[in-house]
Each structure stands twice: as C-alpha cells, then as structure tokens.
Amino acid sequence: MYALADCNNFYASCERVFEPKLEGRPVVVLSNNDGCVVARSQEAKDAGIGMGEPAFKCRDRFDRHQVVVRSSNYTLYDDMSRRVVRSILEFVPDVEIYSIDEVFLDLRPLQHLNVESLCRTIRDRVKKWTGIPISIGIAPTKTLAKLANRIAKKDPTTQGVFQLPATDPDRALALDSVDVGDVWGVGSRWGAKLRGLGIRSALDLARMPTDDLRKRFNVVAQRTALELRGLVCQELEDIAPPRKTLVRSRSFGDMVTDFEQMSEAIANHAVRAAEKLRHEGGTAGQVSVFLSTNRFRDDLPQYHGGGTAAFLPATASTPIILREAMRLTRFAWQQGFHYKKAGVMLGDLSFGEIQGGLFDTRDHPRDDRLMAALDEVNRKMGSGTLRPAATGVTPKGWRMKREHCSPKYTTCWRELPRAQT
C-alpha cells in the first residue's frame, strides 16, 4: 500500500504561513523576473487566473479581484518543503521525495494499522507543525495513489484524505471519475490519442489490453495500465538516482549588452553551481557556458553562443570552475547583441572516488580545505558572505527582477518574522 502526500497550492500556502492575513484572499506567485503565474491559491483559480499566464496580461484581473502578487521565493519554499518531509518522517520511515511539494509514502510495513486514520493524523500534524495544508491519496500502487490524491483534493467530502476502495463497484466508479488525460504519466498528447481510440477515463485505460497499449504507445503506457489494475510496476525510490548534470541559469532582469555585466552573471552562476555540487558530494568532469539573446524579439539580431571545457581530474573547487567559466565566456562573447539569458552547466558528474591525472600537480587537499572553510563561513554567516570578487560587489541590472518577493523567513537571521504584542 502506498500513499501520496501533496501540498495544496504549495507556493501560495508558503506565503500564507507567515502572513495569516492572506488567508481567504487570492494569491498568485510569479516566475523568475516576475514573468508568468506559476502558482495560484484556490481563490485565484476561482477568479479565472490561469497557470502560466503572463503577469502583464492579468493586471486588470489582479486589480479587480484584489489579488496578492508575490515573486517566487525558492529559498523559502525549499526550506518549507524540507519541514513538511521531516514531519511526515515522524510517522512513516520510508518515503520518496518526488518533487518539492509531493512525497510518496510506503505504507506496506504499517498495514497492521488503520492506514487511513494514520494519514489523517499525518495531515493534521503537518498542518499544525508547518502551517502547510496537504492532501493524501492511498492506494495499492503509486499511479493509483496519484489518482486517489487527485480525488482527495477535488472532493471536499474526503476532508483531504482518500483511500481508493479495494473492490468494485466503488473502485470502478472512482477510476471512471478521472479523465484519462489526468492519469499520472499520460499527459495531453497521449490523452488526445487515447480519446481518439475511445479511451475516456482511467477505468477505460485500465481495461485496455496491455499488449495493444505497448504496440500503440510504449512500455510506459503498458505499465501505467497495469498499475491502474493494482499491479505494482514502480517501487518506491527511497534513494534518488545521482544527477548527471547541474545547471545554473537565469533570464536577466534587463537585457545585457556589456561584457562586464555578463562576466559577473556567469561568475555568479559558476560559484553557486560549484557550491551546490560540493553540498551534494560530487565533482564535475566538465563545465559548459551558454549565453543567448531573446528569441521572441524579432526586432533584434539573434545569437546563441557557448563552449565546454574538461577537467582532469574532476573537481568541485570554485576557483578552478570559475577560471574555466570565465575563459569560455570571453570566447563565446560577441559584442553588439542584447543578451537575455546565460548560464553554467556542470557535466560528467561523479559521486565517490575520482580518477586522478597522471601529470596533475595541483594541491587538491589544500583546495578541499579551502572550500570547506568557505562553505562553513557562508553556512554560518549567510550565503555569499565570502565570494570571489568576479561576482561583483554592487547589484546590477542583470540580476533577476523580484519586485514582490517576501522575506526568507526561515533561513536568514535578518529576515526572521517578528511577533508584536
């Protein structure tokens, strides 16, 4: 038996935790550079604000419905996500963190308990300890747990927790109530094709011959149908597979035409990417840099450039990665263009032992001590307290626009919430 715990309107809920006055008001969260709507409270959904809509097209509706607008605050959301997971781990030891707001729970070792009652307790405690409302779906497979979670969210009579019935006709009714396009792993393209074959609901998909599914689609569709029948095809992944690349990039707040600003942006991306790689215990065998203009501006000349350099041996040292990133930036830069986006990608990642270079004379133990000291200072004193001068010392126009950003309530001493009596 599995369960899926999904945070309700997660980004908007995080904003409400520290501003209770937002409860009951429509709240939207915007993407990087305050571009598009990426999260909505239920009240904002009811006001007709669509996911992914450009913010400038919604201004009239924002004003008409008195919508509270927030810039994305991923530092806050990431920390709140960890708090939700830690709360769940108090009750269920085996979990798979599927995304920032979704967690699969392995309930098989706990089936001697009343799992629905357990999940209701988890839901109440998460709300009490973190302030985040969650919905939980319970079922024999992960795909069915996703489906049950959807019902728990949509049907108010479930009070946020729904266990898929074990037998027909109730089980069949539940599957028949979910559109085939809303089944986990199907999506809009497959959904349209399945409807063309007369497959309208999750129940229809479960009853479709699996061999026919594999011929018309692929093995993933076949496994989805088997999971809808209650056959486990996807086990819990309690240890996430190691990543193959690490990308750090952003669109610029203002388009960049000056090489100094571009080099500062690339330096910031390289430093943060190296820091994150060390945090995950990995090393990189190569670094790539890319810069591009705004492809939506037909009135401006277009350019996309970049380059790649290899490391031998692999490294996570900021000075080494930064030096190569700066060299690649000088190589890729072309004057006379209006750049909208740039980034750094670390590739050929390895976690564990690394192969040394035959002619390598660098003092890597010294690098390791230096990076450990750097990371410790930044951990204690705040991110960016110690950083290379190449990242710049004053804010520049290339930095991301976040005109409506809330404080980092849980991770920055200067921005801790204040209680007044």
- Can you tell me the mean pLDDT for 402-410? 84
CA–CA dist 259, 251 (Å, integer): 16
The model's pLDDT over 331-341, given as tens digits with 9 standing for 90+, comes to: 999 999 999 99
Q: How far apart are CA 15 and CA 28, in angstroms?
A: 10
- Residue 345 has a pLDDT of 95
Instruction: Give the Cα separation of 47 and 379 in Å (integer).
Output: 42
Class of domain 165-229: mainly alpha
Sorted by where each begins, the domain ranges of the chain are 2-158, 165-229, 246-391
pLDDT of 113:
87
| CATH number corresponding to 2-158 | 3.30.70.270
Give the Cα separation of 34 and 73 in Å (integer). Answer: 11
Tokens of 230: 């209650």
CA distances from 88 to 101, 126, 289 (A): 12, 7, 39
Longest dimension (CA), the chain: 71
Q: How many CB atoms lie within 10 A of CB 118?
A: 19
Q: How far is CA 352 from CA 95, 109, 242, 369, in A?
A: 24, 32, 11, 17
Give the pLDDT confidence of 343-360 residue by residue, as tens digits.
Answer: 999 998 988 777 766 677
Q: Rounded to whole angstroms, how far apart are CA atoms 400 and 396?
A: 9
For residues 149 and 401, the model is more confident at 149
Q: What number is the average pLDDT over the span 188-210? A: 87
Do the beta carbons of residue 271 and residue 322 sit within 8 Å?
A: yes
Q: Which residues contact 396 (CB under 8 A, 6 or more apart)?
A: 261, 264, 265
d(CA 38, CA 14): 14
Q: Which residues contact 281 (CB under 8 A, 6 or more apart)?
A: 351
pLDDT of 219-229, one tens digit each? 888 888 898 88
CATH architecture of the region 246-391: 2-Layer Sandwich (3.30)
Mean pLDDT score of the chain:
89
Q: How confident is the model at residue 130 (pLDDT cuts 50, 70, 90)?
A: very high
What are the pLDDT digits (tens) for 30-40?
A: 988 888 899 99
- Bigger pLDDT: 394 vs 386: 386
| Same fold yes or no, 165-229 and 246-391 | no
